[in-house]
Amino acid sequence: MSSIIGPDRIGIEIKLTSRCNLHCLHCVNRDGGPDGRDLDHDLFIRRLREWEVSGEGMRWPIREVRMTGGEPLLNLPGLAAVGFACLEMGIPSGINTNGSLLTESTAGLLREAGIRVVKISLDTLNPCRIREIRGENASLDAVLKGIGIAVRSGFEVIVRFTLTSLNREELVPCYEYAVEAGAARFQVKPLIQAGRAKEIGIRLTPCDFREAVEDLGNRLVPGSVVPEILCSIPRPIPGLAFKACGSIDKLYISSGGEVFTCNFLESTPLGSMQSDSLAELFEIRAARAGKRRLGGHLVLEGCPEYHGRA
Ligand code: SF4
């Protein structure tokens, strides 16, 4: 098994909390509600400093630290602490959020903490459907307001659309909205069969997914954002960018400190932040994370998206 991670820059995704203000019907982590646990962010920062002083940065350079959840804005102390530590060490950082809790003052704090990227989920422009997808507490106005604040605050804003049978006809309108709002990037992700998504039957067939993406390719806004189609084997559709696997060079740390390759893979942990240094975890990942070629593209073994595909 050849080593996946050489001097390539590694992305680290950390789950700052499993608490969430929404309750998405396709949540991979089955999160939702006020009860949950927060990451021991002090330990994570200690692991980062350990990596920095160990000189392992040459062998294992870190591309970015991305903070996610649950809803990371529910753990502002952890978010700020990790952001400032990354800033100090020159490591780019960002957050993945549902956007509904983003205010001008929070955006100010994120900027101060050196956060550069804000990825916001937008799956519909229909105020009723957003409650169907993201739970009774979801407000479309709050999410759209969050996107506006993020753009005005100068973050690199990524709008992420999870494509299902519930919102297939909204792909193009959401893309157009993201372009209009000034988003820097627009991503489309299929509904990966993991977590709650396994039980709800709203996944598009590969054929319907391809048609929806082709339709998007035919309705692009000239000279603007190139939509990125994630977790999808590249297709010759002009104007679209594909990424077969976004976790091929990533490490995912759960709020409990367990470490995986990808959040969507239901696999045994590679290790834990409590017992292993980051350099050790990178080594373990390089040695143990299975990968394979699909249509000439590297994907992770065990990914539900490519299950049964040769
Ligand atoms: S492992 Fe699968 S779900 Fe995870 S990023 Fe790769 S393709 Fe997507």
Angle between helix axes 140-152 and 104-112 (nearest 10 degrees) is: 40
Atom 6 of ligand 1 has which residue's CA nearest to it?
Answer: 245
Per residue in 46-65, pLDDT tens?
999 999 998 778 888 999 99
What is the 263 CA–ligand 1 centroid distance (Å)?
Answer: 8
Residue 186 CB neighbours (<10 A):
25
Average pLDDT over residues 174-189: 98
Residues 61, 48: contact at Cβ < 8 Å?
Answer: no
Helices (H), 16-135: 41-53, 76-89, 104-112, 127-134
Burial code (b: 16+ CB inside 10 Å, e: under 16) for 38-49 equals bbbbeebbebbe
Q: Which amino acid appears at position 86 of this protein?
A: C
Percent of the chain with pLDDT over 90: 84
pLDDT of 32 over the 80 cut: no
What is the 208 CA–ligand 1 centroid distance (Å)?
Answer: 20
The predicted model scores a pTM of 0.94
What pLDDT was estimated at residue 59? 84
pLDDT of 71 over the 80 cut: yes
Q: Whole domain around residue 296: which residue ranges?
A: 3-306
Does ligand 1 lie within 6 Å of residue 247's CB atom? yes
What is the 103 CA–ligand 1 centroid distance (Å)?
Answer: 31
Average pLDDT over residues 155-180: 98
pLDDT of 121 over the 60 cut: yes
Q: How far is CA 222 from the centre of its chain?
A: 27
Atom 3 of ligand 1 has which residue's CA nearest to it?
Answer: 264
pLDDT of 1 over the 60 cut: no
pLDDT of 187 over the 80 cut: yes
Shortest CA distance to 26 belongs to which of 98, 88, 100, 109?
98
Number of domains in the chain: 1
Mention every residue, 6+ apart, whose C-beta is less than 8 A from residue 71: 17, 19, 20, 21, 22, 97, 98, 101
> Mapped to the 3 state alphabet, what secondary structure does 217-236 carry?
HHCCCCCCCCCEEECCCCCC
What pLDDT was estimated at residue 9? 87
Residues 174, 159: contact at Cβ < 8 Å?
Answer: yes
Per residue in 215-266, pLDDT tens?
999 999 888 999 999 999 999 998 999 999 999 999 999 999 999 999 999 8
CATH number, position 234:
3.20.20.70
Pocket test for ligand 1, best of 299, 301, 307 (most atoms within 8 A of CB): 299
Atom of ligand 1 nearest to the CA of 246: 5
pLDDT of 6 over the 60 cut: no
Residue 190 CB neighbours (<10 A):
20
